[in-house]
DNA sequence: ATGACCTAACTTTTAGGA
């Protein structure tokens, strides 16, 4: 079972790389973020023809999340319970049944950026993280294999950024943001990548500007958080870095976790 | 080079991203 997440930065602009990724990496489940289109504009036919079921929560111009699955999708939940999303499509969750009757619960998350930090945008980011943490705590009580995957817009630690000083005042790296991340993990979730490696310099995002990709000035902000039942089955994690060098790339690359 | 991008939209400029 391979579960991936990818912030595509407009699914319509990224259709060709998306179909290539589905074919080459062949994830069983793919969480998408930043669709930047309404439900009706999502390239459903192309994705279904590639062998995937689709549930989505789109939005015109901004945000938008989806879950693609080779297996049947059940029990879709849109939005975080009890949170005022202020019209922003940032969370969708689904229960997926697979091969041997097993079940995995998957959340596709597009957490707010939060810049600039002195504005309401940052307050909204922290409120979102609070609501996500409350929901994640409730999910743990189900004692299921759960994967909360997406663009968290948080750089967890110094080893996850090319130049910590350059990001010190950014909403993605402020102490309050990182504290919110730790509160989420401390519930009992496992950061999939950190379960398999302690290496520094493993990034999932490189800015389009200033040759950030060429200079490897990246950050790690796309994460898969695993419930204990999911973490017990984790075998491998891969950041599909090569996608960033392809034609018309997103500024984020896919990352996937493989489970027994 | 204190530079350099990309996307969508009531598009020729702006807002948002990170």
Residues whose CB falls within 8 Å of the CB of residue A7, separated by 6 or more in sequence, listed in order: A32, A33, A34, A110, A150, A151, A205, A222, A250, A251, A252
What is the distance between the alpha carbons of residues A94 and A226, in angstroms, rounded to a whole number? 15
A210 CB inside 7 Å of strand B? yes
Residues 223-252 of A with CB under 7 A from strand B: 248, 251-252
- Confidence at residue A99, expressed as pLDDT on a 0 to 100 scale: 79
**Three-state DSSP state, A47:** helix
- Confidence at residue A162, expressed as pLDDT on a 0 to 100 scale: 96
Those residues of chain A that have pLDDT short of 50 are none
Domain that residue A94 falls in: 2-259
Across the strands, what pairs with A222?
Answer: A151
What is the distance between the alpha carbons of residues A212 and A149, in angstroms, rounded to a whole number? 24
Residues 112-171 of A with CB under 7 A from strand B: 112-113, 115, 121, 151, 153
Report pTM: 0.97
- Confidence at residue A100, expressed as pLDDT on a 0 to 100 scale: 75
Q: What is the CATH number of the domain that holds A201?
A: 3.60.10.10
- Taking only the tens place, the pLDDT of each residue in A222-242 is 999 999 999 999 999 999 999
Number of domains chain A is built from: 1
| Distance B4 C1' – A89 CA (angstroms) | 32
A217 CB inside 7 Å of strand B? no
């Amino acid at each position: 079972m391979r579960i991936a997440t990818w912030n595509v930065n407009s699914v319509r602009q990224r259709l060709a790389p998306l179909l290539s990724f589905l074919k080459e990496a062949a994830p069983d489940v793919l969480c998408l973020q930043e669709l930047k289109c309404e439900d009706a504009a999502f390239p459903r036919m192309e994705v279904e023809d590639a062998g995937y079921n689709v549930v989505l929560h789109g939005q015109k111009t901004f945000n938008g999340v989806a879950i693609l699955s080779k297996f049947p999708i059940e029990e879709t939940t849109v939005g975080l319970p009890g949170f005022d999303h202020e019209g922003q499509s940032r969370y969708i969750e689904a229960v997926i049944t697979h091969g041997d009757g097993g079940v995995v619960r998957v959340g596709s998350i597009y957490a707010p950026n939060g810049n600039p930090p002195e504005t309401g945008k940052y307050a909204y980011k922290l409120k979102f993280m609070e609501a996500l943490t409350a929901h994640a705590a409730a999910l743990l009580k189900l004692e299921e294999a759960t994967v909360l995957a997406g663009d968290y817009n948080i750089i967890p630690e110094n080893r996850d950024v090319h130049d910590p000083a350059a990001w010190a005042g950014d909403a993605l790296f402020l102490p309050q943001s990182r504290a919110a991340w730790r509160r989420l993990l401390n519930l009992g979730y496992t950061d999939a990548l950190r379960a398999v490696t302690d290496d520094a310099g493993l990034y999932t995002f490189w800015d389009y500007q200033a040759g950030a990709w060429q200079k490897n000035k990246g950050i790690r902000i796309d994460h898969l958080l695993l419930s204990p039942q999911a973490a017990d089955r984790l075998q491998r994690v891969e950041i599909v870095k090569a996608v960033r060098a392809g034609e018309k790339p997103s500024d984020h690359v896919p990352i996937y976790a493989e489970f027994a």
